[in-house]
Amino acid sequence: MFTGIEHFAIASPNPKQLADWYVSHLEFEITFEYAGNYFIEAKNGGLIEIIPAEGERIASAMRTPGMRHIAIAVDDFDAAYQQLKEQGVKFEGEPYTNDGNRVVFFKDADGNLIHLIHRKTPLP
């Protein structure tokens, strides 16, 4: 009956600008647009809907309740990291290895936490 995640949404003060950021920085593609909402698709088919925000951003930290980050899979960690550096992305720390997986955290144009990940072994 339940088949999986179709998409998740990010509320943004400027949905078009954020959608364009994902296109230019993370190779997403805008695949559908309606009434100021943008669906962006990753190369692996993952979808994010970016919707107009209402109100002020609520402060959050790595472990406060709620969604915490978006993990972006890469096949060449070093090249992806270097490309983002050249595009002026500010990282939350240096890349590190955890159980053989390469990881680095950064924020998108709206301040949402993202991390690149290259897994040594894919999840089961």
Quick one: pLDDT at residue 60? Answer: 79
Q: Residue 63 has what pLDDT?
A: 82
Closest CA to 37 of 20, 52, 47: 52
Domain span holding position 93:
68-124
Please tell me whether residues 2 and 38 are part of one structural domain.
yes
pLDDT in tens, 85-112: 999 999 999 999 999 999 999 999 999 9
Apex 49 CA angle, 101 and 65, nearest 5: 60
pLDDT (tens digit per residue) in 13-37: 999 999 999 999 999 999 999 999 9
More confident residue, 124 or 52: 52
Q: Residue 91 maps to which CATH number?
A: 3.10.180.10
Please check whether residues 27 and 79 belong to one and the same domain: no
Q: What is the tally of structural domains in the chain?
A: 2
Tell me, yes or no, whether 49 and 86 share the same domain.
no
Is the residue at 16 inside a domain? yes
Residue 58 has pLDDT above 90, yes or no: no
Average pLDDT over residues 47-64: 88
Distances (CA, A) of 69 to 2, 58, 103, 115: 24, 15, 12, 7
